[in-house]
Amino acid sequence: MSGLEDRLQEALQREGGRTTASPDLFQRVADSIDADRLRRSRRARGVALGMLALGCLATLIAITTPRDEEGVHMSWWVLELGTNAVLVAVAVWLGPFIKRFGRAYAADVFHDNPMTGKSYIVLTDIVYYLIFAAYILFTVRLEAMPGSLGEVTAGQVENACVRVGGILLIIGVLHGLNIVLMPVLGRLFSLNRRLPRDH
């Protein structure tokens, strides 16, 4: 071994001699493996349910869409149902995706107070789903567009695209603001903990 390797080995042995093994290390590793297995199982169930819902929607569209020599005549409510299904699918997929990568960012920002970081992530999850639910309820259409004769028109297709794009834009802007504001909040909470308290 070279001199550098000898010094490195000595330093590691010296530090290793000072530390004591964590008594619950095996249990924490086992819990982490179980949590990962549970997360993978939930993901697989979610994908299976999504594929089933997609299949049901495709079957419904095929059954309820008449064809003649002029082409396909889709009822207005089929597109409306499909648009709402897409919005719900985006909410269900995007929420955990943002949360998964946001945990590490929140842990860095709230390193002085990890419990605040965890609470912040939970609260932003609640806000996220409230925004999605409100947006879907605000934009849902319960009757055909005037002059459409109950069939899908170009205006309804455009409206469906605007709805999907609108929620993506809203979540993108709010997520960007959250990324910018979170370090400021983390710094404020950190300073608050360091201030002397009056007794």
SS (H, E, C) 27-67: HHHHHHHHHHHHHHHHHHHHHHHHHHHHHHHHHHHHHHCCE
> Under 8 Å CB-to-CB from 61, ≥6 apart: which residues?
74, 78, 82
* Residue 52 confidence (pLDDT): 80
Residue 165: predicted pLDDT: 92
The dihedral built from the CA positions of residue 58, 82, 92 and 165, taken in this order, carries a sign that is: positive
Per-position pLDDT tens, the chain of length 199: 577 788 888 877 777 666 666 666 677 777 788 888 888 887 778 777 777 877 776 776 666 666 666 666 677 888 888 888 888 888 888 877 787 777 777 777 777 777 777 888 888 888 888 998 999 999 988 887 777 677 777 888 888 899 999 999 988 898 888 888 888 877 777 776 655 555 5
Task: Say what the pTM is.
Answer: 0.62
The tokens describing 59, both together, are 């079957």
Q: How far is CA 135 from the centre of its chain?
A: 16
Q: What are phi and psi of 66, to 5 degrees?
A: -75, 155
Name, in order, each residue with C-beta under 8 angstroms of 188's C-beta and a sequence gap of 6 or more: none
